[in-house]
Amino acid sequence: MEGTPKNKTLIIRNDIDELNRLVMFLEILEEEWNLPPALVPSLNLALEEALSNIIFYAFEKGSENEISIDFSLKGTEMTIILTDGGKPYDPTKKEDPNINLPAEDRPIGGLGVFLIKKIMNEVTYNRVDNKNQMTMVKRWN
């Protein structure tokens, strides 16, 4: 059975309150796919950081758009693909913050993409058919 991937998709609007639907969706996924308890909060965090960037910056203000989130589980590897029709934006190009700076010198913000890269094993970006496609892979034991 482990060889058969499981797939599920969530589609949200570009509205920040839709993140609450993500939380509920992940709770269901955790139960249905029997995921390890520590995994879902990490996935939630990586997804929130990625999706909030898309919701706040990818689209014209006031426009209604959809973002699709495809989950695929194979054994102990989860692949999540985010697809949006917004402005081209490659988050993997964002420079990492210097996390060794003292509090006085730390800029406020700039941690979102860094957290995604730290949580996920792989983060890649592609522009496909005029859409942003961000692929994140998480593996566990």
Contact predicate 12/51, CB 8 Å: yes
Of 12-20, 25-33, 73-81, 126-134, the segment contacting other proteins by CB under 8 A is: 12-20
Using the rule CB under 8 A, is 100 a contact of other proteins? yes
Contacts (Cβ under 8 Å, ≥6 apart) of 28: none
Using the rule CB under 8 A, is 74 a contact of other proteins? no
What mask of x and - would describe binding to other proteins in positions 22 to 51, judged by CB under 8 A? ----------------x--x--xx--xx--
In a 3-state reduction of DSSP, which class is residue 5? coil
Using the rule CB under 8 A, is 103 a contact of other proteins? yes
Contact predicate 113/49, CB 8 Å: yes
CA separation for the pair 127, 117 (Å, rounded): 19
Q: How far is the CB of 5 from other proteins (least distance, A)?
A: 27
Of 26-34, 79-87, 99-107, 130-138, the segment contacting other proteins by CB under 8 A is: 99-107
* Strand positions, DSSP E, 1-141: 6-13, 66-74, 77-84, 122-128, 131-139
Tokens 């999706």 correspond to what residue?
51
**By the criterion CB under 8 A, which residues form the site for other proteins?**
16-17, 19-20, 38, 41, 44-45, 48-49, 52, 97, 99-104, 106, 108-109, 111-112, 114-115, 118-119
